[in-house]
Amino acid sequence: DGKIVYPAILRTDVKDTVHGITVEDPYRWLEDPDSEATGAFVTAQNEVTKEFLNNFAARDKYNARLTELFNYERYSAPYKRGNYYYFFHNSGLQAQNILYQQDSIEGERRVFLDPNTLEEDGTAALSTHRFSKSGKIYGYAIAKSGSDWVTIYLKDDKGNALEDVIEWAKFTDISFTHDDKGFFYSSYEKPNIDKEKAGTETGTNINKRLYYHKIGTPQAEDVLVYLDTSNPTHSPSAEVSDDGKYILLTVGKDCDPVNKLFIVDLEATGNVISRDWPINKVVDNFDALYSYLTNDGTVFYFQTNKDAPRYKVVKYDLSKPEQGFTEIVPQVEDVLSSAVVVNKDKLVLQYMHDVKSCLYIHDLSTGRLLNQITVPIGTISGISGRKEDDEFFFSFTSYLTPGTIYRYNFESLDEEKRLSIFRQADVKNFDNSLFETNQVFYESKDGTKIPMFITHKKGLVLNSNNPAFLYGYGGFSIPIEASYSPSAIVFMQHLDGVVAFANLRGGGEYGEDWHKAGMLLNKQNVFDDFQYAAKYLIREKYTQPSRLAINGGSNGGLLVGACVNQAPELFGAAVADVGVLDMLRFHKFTIGHAWQSDYGYPDDNKEDFLNLHKYSPLHNINTDKPYPPLALFTSSHDDRVVPLHSFKYIAELQHKAGPLTSNPLVIRVETKAGHGAGKPISKRIAETTDKFSFIASSIGAEWRD
């Protein structure tokens, strides 16, 4: 009967009793990443999985075409710092993007930082990075094998390394004081593991520290500026103001978009940076988010969601605290995605209207709308410009546009001539006129209208027989916006597939109301939205269950696990990347405690525990209906979502659901890789080839040249 023989896995009688409820946890031993048994489990599982990643006849054709679609020259928006311009560039298949320096925007480029030279297999990646105000010093953080731990290094503007090295930084910014004497960064207590194993440990990250490092001194002498052990999960951060006179000290509490706002007047401290410096506690609660835009003297400008779930721009005069905050640009129907101050006093505002980017220029001091900048339908990112610049650049992408860099110059008198295309990525052998993207609004279980982008070849026949790929996320107020995906292009062009991205509740598509509608006790809405997206595609004859593959990563991996448990009959394949799958223990590992703002507090709140227990993938395996082919993808150095989630879920699936189906229920564990950020192109291509080979063979998709 073709039943698959899975590796034998020790099942213990470990159990916990929480809020008076006893929960079995037979694979608790898989939570130890360093045990011999866990190592043997990973090896044995990868061995079984290989066969199911290789049984797609056109696998090599897929890999070759995917490589071709990745292999296009791409640039970031350029930015000016000090006397030079900088931009990132990748010739196509380089593991990591390279940072180049120029004397002028059209000048010849010279390599400034090439992360590819840091590890021969390309697994060293650039994380946070920033120039000092003068542009004379550059601080950059390097992550190894995809871990969230970083080491900070310094260079001068000629590219010469300074000898300073800051180890064991994590989830940090780099912000220099304007005297070029030092910078602020954050870190946690050093875990007791060797550096090259950083990222394989699962210990919790608490008691985050904010330090000031004086250039030329050893890290051990760094000044501890902020640490609050009475609130071990809080997250402090420091930003030096545009004029260098103030420190914006913010404290986050978890993943909710809220923070405390403290302002330090450096002059009042006599330029002495210490833990006891005089602080103005402008906002000492977690009612809202305040994100610094700029200041003119004591007048500060912020983007905030205070009484504005779709955000707005406010100002605050430090010398007149009694006035509090006053609105500059009130909240509107659309979501304010980002705000940047350019050209002395212009406010560049990016909004999201039904998940499409719009761009406006306002006057900073009055908030008055000056003009809208017309851009195509898609996603804007990386607006790069400063107060001292009379122009700014930004990137644009969409499902069918790889990447366009636009330039907006305020000096051009004729408004129409201000916007120009600065660079246009060109993917060879890809004619986007063969495809079309449509946006639909389908009804979810409770009648809520949910946006979804559907892309496919023009002339698609709605005969219910098309292979379909449905992707979702639904959490942490993160919107899923249009972007160019080589794997989606191959799926549409050569497998005649339909690619759908559903904008589920829990995301940021319509601001904080949309986020709140998909979190905590409303989390099931997200799973309903995803299942109703599938029903829509089936009802509208795009596809049928056996041809429909679902995919999501991280919180999106939870989405896939919960949905395939709740409705296995709805899907022809399911792939969960680096999923959060044990919802009773997620908060115990690395930074998982910060996710309780979306998921709830299983140990501290019984209602949350019961809610989580009801949808937790690990605790809700369906034993009434057979599962479709299912694959979990994870990595050994993923310290964002530790791989134990996937280890335990696949073990429970194979034990409980394995006997009911001959479909593969497997896991792929990547070594020397992490949660995703900074993964070298070669690993991305190999992993994507495996993913879509698994999907194509599971849904019976045929290759067409």
Where do we find the tokens 């030096």?
240
For the CB of residue 148, give the shortest distance to ligand P0H in the complex, in Å.
7
By C-beta, is 156 or 189 nearer to ligand P0H?
189
Question: Is there binding between residue 141 and ligand P0H (CB under 6 A)?
Answer: no
For the CB of residue 515, give the shortest distance to ligand P0H in the complex, in Å.
12
Exposed/middle/buried for 618, CB within 10 Å: 0-12, 13-18, 19+? buried
Question: Is there binding between residue 149 and ligand P0H (CB under 6 A)?
Answer: no
Q: Give the dihedral of Cα atoms 372, 374, 378, 381; nearest 10 deg.
A: -60
Question: Is there binding between residue 640 and ligand P0H (CB under 6 A)?
Answer: yes
Of 439, 551, 531, 442, the closest CA to residue 491 belongs to 551
Q: Do residues 185 and 174 touch, judged by C-beta distance below 8 A?
A: yes
For the CB of residue 558, give the shortest distance to ligand P0H in the complex, in Å.
7
Q: Do residues 534 and 570 touch, judged by C-beta distance below 8 A?
A: yes
Our answer to whether residue 697 is catalytic in this structure is no
Question: Is there binding between residue 171 and ligand P0H (CB under 6 A)?
Answer: yes
Our answer to whether residue 487 is catalytic in this structure is no
For the CB of residue 677, give the shortest distance to ligand P0H in the complex, in Å.
10
Catalytic residue, candidates 638, 645, 646, 690? 638
Number of residues interacting with ligand P0H: please give it, by CB under 6 A: 14
Q: In what order do the strands lie in the sheet with 379-384?
A: 379-384, 391-398, 401-409, 419-424
By C-beta, is 141 or 255 nearer to ligand P0H?
255
Buried b (16+ CB within 10 A) or exposed e, 217-233: eeeeebbebbeeeeeeb
Catalytic residue, candidates 145, 675, 697, 698? 675
Question: Is there binding between residue 612 and ligand P0H (CB under 6 A)?
Answer: no
User: Which residue lies nearest ligand P0H, judged by its C-beta?
Assistant: 554
Q: In what order do the strands lie in the sheet with 259-265?
A: 235-240, 246-252, 259-265, 280-283
Half-sphere exposure of residue 57, counting CA atoms within 13 Å on the CB side? 7
Q: Do residues 115 and 96 touch, judged by C-beta distance below 8 A?
A: yes
> Of residues 95, 255, 400, 574, which one binds ligand P0H by CB under 6 A?
255
Our answer to whether residue 638 is catalytic in this structure is yes
For the CB of residue 188, give the shortest distance to ligand P0H in the complex, in Å.
10
Question: Is there binding between residue 581 and ligand P0H (CB under 6 A)?
Answer: no
Looking at 252-260, 280-288, 437-445, 460-468, which segment touches ligand P0H (CB under 6 A)? 252-260
Question: Is there binding between residue 555 and ligand P0H (CB under 6 A)?
Answer: yes
- The SS3 call for residue 688 is helix
What are the angstrom distances between the C-alpha of 331 and each of 303, 368, 698? 10, 13, 47
Question: Is there binding between residue 591 and ligand P0H (CB under 6 A)?
Answer: yes
Catalytic residue, candidates 145, 337, 554, 597? 554
> Of residues 488, 580, 669, 695, which one binds ligand P0H by CB under 6 A?
580
Question: Is there binding between residue 67 and ligand P0H (CB under 6 A)?
Answer: no
Half-sphere exposure of residue 506, counting CA atoms within 13 Å on the CB side? 28
Question: Is there binding between residue 594 and ligand P0H (CB under 6 A)?
Answer: yes
By C-beta, is 351 or 595 nearer to ligand P0H?
595
d(CA 386, CA 303): 16
Q: Do residues 408 and 373 touch, judged by C-beta distance below 8 A?
A: yes
Tell me which residues touch ligand P0H (CB under 6 A): 171, 235, 252, 254-255, 476, 554-555, 580, 591, 594-595, 640-641
Q: Which residues have a catalytic role annotated? A: 554, 638, 675
